[in-house]
C-alpha cells in the first residue's frame, strides 16, 4: 500500500458545518436535540443526510427497514462493502453527539476517499440505522438488516403499538418491507461505528480514544421482599417484619458487592416501590429491580448468582420472604479481533493515546456482530453526561475519532 | 361507698351476643368487618346500637356531628356526665374488635349499673364517635364534640370532598349541624375508652391489661435525595451520584438510630419513589417519608432533629443534595393522672396484671383530653395484628377490659 491513504485526514471545518446543521434539526434550545425515531424531526434529519451525500456525488438508498445509506464504489468489482455508521435518531430530549457523530464521520470518510479517488479493498457505505434508541423497537434497523427480526417482534414493540404503526406508515414502511430488508452477509466486509463513550472513563483517564472490546451483557432481577403490614404506630420496632428494610439493605449491599468483587460490572436499582404504600403502615411488600451488566457471559452468570444469594441473605437476616424473578437479558457481544486491531493501528498511526474499553450501553454494532466482523471506536464524553442536553464531547476528540474511522476504513480490516 | 359496686361484673354472655351481632354488620366473610364511616354498614351498626340501648331502657340521642349516645341518669341532679365510648366505624376491610369492643363495653356498663340501680357520683353516657378512623375526616365526632372543628376543616377532608358531602347528606348531617355539636365542657366529668392495643407489647408480656399514659405524638419528614441521572450501563460505579443509595441508607440508619437512642419511639418508611424511575437510569431523585412517633413533645423534637442530622449525613457521605420537608404533626397527649389512677385501682381490685403503656395509634381520647380528664384501657392484641381481618383479642381479655371499664365507672374518677 502506498503512503497516500495514511496521510489522509477528515476536513474538520466541513464536518463541523455539517454537525451544526444536523444539530439544528430537532434542536431543543438548550443544546440538545429531540429526534425520536420516525418522528418528523428524525425524518427531516434523514432527508438532510441523503441530500448532503447526493450533493457530493455519492449514491444514496433507503432499504425496507428505513435504513438510510450513502455508498461509494471504491473497491474492486464484486468487492464486499465495509459499513461505517450509527444512527440519526435520539432519545426524547437527548444530546446532539449520540449517533449523529458516527453517521457524519462515516459520510465524511466516504467524501475524503472519493475526493482522493482512492481504490480500496472494499466498497464503502455510510449507514444510518433505524430506531437505535428504541423509541418504538430498539435496533429495528440493524435487526432487519441482519435478518434477526420477526413479525412477532413487530407486533410487540417496546413502545405503544398504535404509535408504532402510525410512525411506520408515516415513514413509508410496512411489516413486509421490514421483513424483506435483510442484506446478504456475503456482501458485507464488516461494520465499524464511531460513538461517544456516554460514560466518564475516558474523560477521567489520560487517553484520547478507546478501542471497544465488547458490548456488555445485561440481566435484570425483579425482587420482592415480603414481610407483614402493621400499624406503624402500634407495632414495636423489634416486632416489625418490614419488607422495606430488606429492599434498602439490598440496594446498598448489591452496590458494595459489585464494587468489591466484580470490578468490570455495574448494577443499578432504578425502580422501587413499597406496598401498601401508606406513610403509617409498615411495608408488607417492597419491590426493586436489579439491573446488572458484565462484559463476559461467565461474569454475568456469576454476578447473577451472587446477587441472588445476597438477596436471600438480606431476607434471612430480617425474617422476610423474598421472590426473585429473572427478566429479559441481553448476551454480551465480543467485538471482532481484527477490527479491534485495525482501530488500534489507526489510533497508533495518529499518535493518539488509546485504551481498550467495554461498552456499557447497547449499540447496532452488537447486532451487526452476528453477521460480520464488527467494532467500535469511543471518544470521551465530558463528565459522562448521556441522553441529555448536557451531553458534550470536545471538538478535538470528535476529530480524533473521525480520523481513526477514516484511517481504519482506508487501510481496511 | 358500699361494697356492692365493687362486686359488679359485666355479663359475659350478653356482651358476647352483642359482639357477634355487631360483627355480622358489614362482615367481610373472613372474620373482619367493612364499616367505613357514614357508609351503609356503619349507619346500620349505629342504628343497631341505639335499638339495643332503647331495648334495655336507656335513653338515646344523636348529636349534630352524628355521635350516637345512650345515657343513664344515675348521678345526682345536675351532676356531670362520665363518658365511656369508642367508635363503630372501621377502616376498609378492618377487624371486628377495633372500636366496637369499647362501645359495647360502655353499653354493657350502663346496663349493669341500671340493673343494679346504683346511684353514682356522675351520670353515665356510652358514646359512639363519628369517623374515628378518618375515612372522611379523622376524629370528626370528637373534634365537633369538643368545639375543635372549623368550617375550613370540613372543606378540606382527608378523603374525597365529594364523597364526604354525599356521606354527610346520607347520614342527615350538615356543616351547620356539625359546627353546632359542641357540648358544654362543664357538664362532662371525664372520658374513658377501652380499646385493643393494636400492637404486640401486651401480647408478648406477662400482663393482662394496660393503663395508657399518653397518646404519642407524630411527625413526618418528606425527604428527597438528589443526585445525577446517568445511563446505568455507561457510568462507572465510582462516578455515580445515585440518589437511591442515600434513600436506602437512611431507611436502614433511621431504624437503627431509633432502636439505639429512642427506645420509646418508632419510625417508619412506608412510601418511597425513585425518579426518573427507569430500570436503566441511575436515580436522580429518591423520595421517602419518615414517619416517627414519640410519647413526649421533647422526645419528638429531639428525634426529629436527630433524623434530620442523619439525613444530611447520609447525603454528605454520598455527595448528594437533600431536601427535607416537615409535614403535618400531631402533638403527644398525656392521659389524665386521676383517670390513670382510677383504671389502675380497678385493675388491681380485679386481680389483673397491669402495666403502663403509651398508645402508638391515635384515639378520640386524645381529642377529649383537651376538655376533660381522659384516659384509656388497653387489652392485648394477639400477634399485634391491627386494621386487618386477622385482628384478634381473646374473649377473656375482652372481659377483663370491660370489667376494668365498669369498675372505673362505678367507683368514679
* pLDDT value at A191 more than 90: yes
Instruction: Look at strands A209-215 and A374-379 and give their pairing.
Output: antiparallel
DSSP codes of every residue in B66-135: --EEEEE--SSTT--EEEEEE-S---TTB-SSTTHHHHHHHHHHHHHHHHHT---SSEEEEEE-TTTT-S
Q: Does B249 touch chain A (CB under 8 A)?
A: yes
* pLDDT reported for residue A278: 87
The closest alpha carbon to A372, from A331, A344, A401, A333, belongs to: A333
Alpha-carbon gap: B134 to the closest alpha carbon of chain A (Å): 13
* pLDDT reported for residue A158: 85
Which residues between 329 and 368 in chain B have a beta carbon less than 8 angstroms from any beta carbon of chain A?
359-362
Q: What is the pLDDT of residues A194-217, one digit of tens each?
A: 999 999 999 999 999 999 999 999
CATH class of A4-215+332-411: alpha beta
Q: What is the pLDDT of residues A295-309, one digit of tens each?
A: 999 999 999 999 999
Q: Kindly report the backbone phi and psi dihedral angles of residue B274, in degrees, each rounded to the nearest multiple of 5, phi listed first.
A: -105, 140
Q: Does B93 touch chain A (CB under 8 A)?
A: no
* pLDDT reported for residue A135: 93
Which residues between 276 and 295 in chain A have a beta carbon less than 8 angstroms from any beta carbon of chain B?
276-283, 289, 291, 293
* pLDDT value at B124 more than 60: yes
Going from N- to C-terminal start, the domains of chain B cover 5-215+332-411, 217-330
Q: Does B159 touch chain A (CB under 8 A)?
A: no
Q: Using pLDDT thresholds of 50, 70 and 90, give the confidence band for residue A342.
A: very high
The CA distance from A169 to A153, in Å, is: 17
Q: Which residue of A has its CA nearest to B357?
A: A234
DSSP codes of every residue in A198-266: -SSTTTTTT-SEEEEEEEPEEEEEEEEEE----BTTTS-GGG---HHHHHHHHHHHHHHHHHHH-TT-E
Q: Does A230 touch chain B (CB under 8 A)?
A: yes
Contact indicator for B43, B171 with CB cutoff of 8 Å: yes
Helices (H) and strands (E) in chain A, counts: 13, 14
Answer whether B277 sits within 8 Å of A255, measured CB to CB: no
* Residue B7 CB contacts under 8 Å (≥ 6 apart), including other chains: none
C-alpha cell at A390: 448536557
Answer whether B274 sits within 8 Å of A279, measured CB to CB: no
At the topology level, CATH places domain B217-330 in Alpha-Beta Plaits (3.30.70)
As a whole number, mean pLDDT of residues A142-162 equals 94
* pLDDT value at A1 more than 60: no
DSSP codes of every residue in A62-100: E-TT--EEEEE--SSTT--EEEEEE-S---TTB-SSTTH
* pLDDT reported for residue A3: 74
The closest alpha carbon to A180, from A213, A153, A145, belongs to: A145
At the topology level, CATH places domain B5-215+332-411 in Aminopeptidase (3.40.630)
Q: Using pLDDT thresholds of 50, 70 and 90, give the confidence band for residue A4.
A: confident
Return the residue matching grid coordinates 423497537: A137
As a whole number, mean pLDDT of residues A368-396 equals 96
Alpha-carbon gap: A102 to the closest alpha carbon of chain B (Å): 18
* pLDDT value at B1 more than 70: no
| B255, B280, B386 ranked by CB distance to A237: nearest | B255
* pLDDT value at B219 more than 80: yes
Answer whether B384 sits within 8 Å of A199, measured CB to CB: no
The CA distance from A359 to A199, in Å, is: 9
β-sheet bridge partners, residue A84: A126, A192
- Between A325 and A1, residue with greater pLDDT: A325
* pLDDT reported for residue A240: 94
* pLDDT reported for residue A337: 98
Q: Kindly report the backbone phi and psi dihedral angles of residue A62, in degrees, each rounded to the nearest multiple of 5, phi listed first.
A: -130, 130
* pLDDT reported for residue A5: 84
Picking from A201, A231, A379 by the largest number of B CB atoms within 10 A of its own CB, the best residue to mutate is A231
**Chain A residues whose beta carbon lies within 8 Å of the beta carbon of residue B277:** 270-271
| A239, A266, A279 ranked by CB distance to B200: nearest | A239
Contact indicator for B101, B19 with CB cutoff of 8 Å: yes
The CA distance from A270 to A267, in Å, is: 10
Q: Kindly report the backbone phi and psi dihedral angles of residue A278, in degrees, each rounded to the nearest multiple of 5, phi listed first.
A: -110, 145
Q: What is the pLDDT of residues A302-334, one digit of tens each?
A: 999 999 999 999 999 999 999 999 987 889 999
CB pairs under 8 A between A and B: 192
Q: Which residue of B has its CA nearest to A263?
A: B237
Q: What ipTM was assigned to the predicted interfaces of this complex?
A: 0.85
Which residues between 294 and 323 in chain B have a beta carbon less than 8 angstroms from any beta carbon of chain A?
none
| H or E element in which residue B29 lies | none
Q: What is the pLDDT of residues B28-48, one digit of tens each?
A: 999 999 999 999 999 999 999
* pLDDT reported for residue A2: 63
Amino acid at each position: 500500500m502506498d503512503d497516500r491513504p495514511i496521510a489522509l485526514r477528515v476536513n474538520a471545518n466541513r464536518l463541523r458545518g455539517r454537525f451544526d446543521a444536523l444539530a439544528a434539526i430537532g434542536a431543543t434550545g438548550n443544546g440538545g436535540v429531540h429526534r425520536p425515531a420516525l418522528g418528523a424531526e428524525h425524518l427531516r434529519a434523514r432527508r438532510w443526510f441523503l441530500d448532503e451525500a447526493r450533493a457530493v456525488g455519492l449514491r444514496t438508498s433507503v432499504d425496507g427497514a428505513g435504513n438510510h445509506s450513502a455508498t461509494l464504489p471504491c473497491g474492486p468489482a464484486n468487492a464486499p462493502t465495509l459499513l461505517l455508521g450509527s444512527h440519526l435518531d435520539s432519545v426524547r430530549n437527548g444530546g446532539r453527539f449520540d449517533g449523529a457523530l458516527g453517521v457524519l464521520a462515516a459520510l465524511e470518510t466516504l467524501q475524503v476517499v472519493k475526493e482522493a479517488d482512492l481504490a480500496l479493498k472494499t466498497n464503502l457505505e455510510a449507514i444510518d440505522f433505524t430506531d437505535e434508541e428504541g423509541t418504538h423497537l430498539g435496533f429495528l434497523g440493524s435487526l432487519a438488516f441482519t435478518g434477526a427480526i420477526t413479525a412477532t417482534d413487530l407486533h410487540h414493540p417496546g413502545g405503544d403499538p398504535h404509535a408504532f404503526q402510525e410512525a411506520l406508515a408515516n415513514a413509508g414502511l410496512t411489516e413486509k418491507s421490514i421483513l424483506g430488508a435483510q442484506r446478504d452477509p456475503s456482501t458485507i466486509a464488516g461494520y465499524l461505528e464511531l460513538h461517544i463513550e456516554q460514560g466518564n472513563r475516558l474523560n477521567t483517564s489520560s487517553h484520547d480514544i478507546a478501542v471497544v472490546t465488547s458490548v456488555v451483557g445485561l440481566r435484570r432481577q425483579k425482587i420482592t421482599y415480603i414481610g407483614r403490614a402493621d400499624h406503624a404506630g402500634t407495632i414495636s420496632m423489634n416486632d416489625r417484619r418490614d419488607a422495606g428494610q430488606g429492599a434498602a439493605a439490598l440496594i446498598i449491599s448489591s452496590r458494595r458487592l459489585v464494587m468489591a468483587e466484580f470490578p468490570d460490572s455495574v448494577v443499578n436499582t432504578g425502580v422501587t416501590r413499597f406496598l401498601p404504600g401508606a406513610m403509617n403502615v409498615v411495608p408488607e411488600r417492597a419491590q426493586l429491580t436489579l439491573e446488572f451488566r458484565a462484559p463476559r457471559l461467565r461474569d454475568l452468570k456469576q454476578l447473577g448468582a451472587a446477587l441472588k444469594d445476597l438477596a436471600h441473605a438480606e431476607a434471612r437476616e430480617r425474617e422476610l420472604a423474598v421472590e426473585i424473578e429473572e427478566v429479559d437479558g441481553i448476551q454480551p457481544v465480543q467485538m471482532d479481533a481484527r477490527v479491534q486491531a485495525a482501530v488500534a493501528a489507526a489510533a497508533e498511526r495518529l499518535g493518539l493515546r488509546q485504551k481498550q474499553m467495554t461498552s456499557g450501553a447497547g449499540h447496532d454494532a452488537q447486532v451487526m456482530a452476528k453477521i460480520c466482523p464488527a467494532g467500535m471506536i469511543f471518544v470521551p464524553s465530558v463528565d459522562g453526561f448521556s441522553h441529555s442536553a448536557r451531553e458534550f464531547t470536545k471538538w478535538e476528540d470528535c476529530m480524533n475519532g473521525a480520523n481513526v474511522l477514516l484511517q481504519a476504513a482506508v487501510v481496511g480490516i
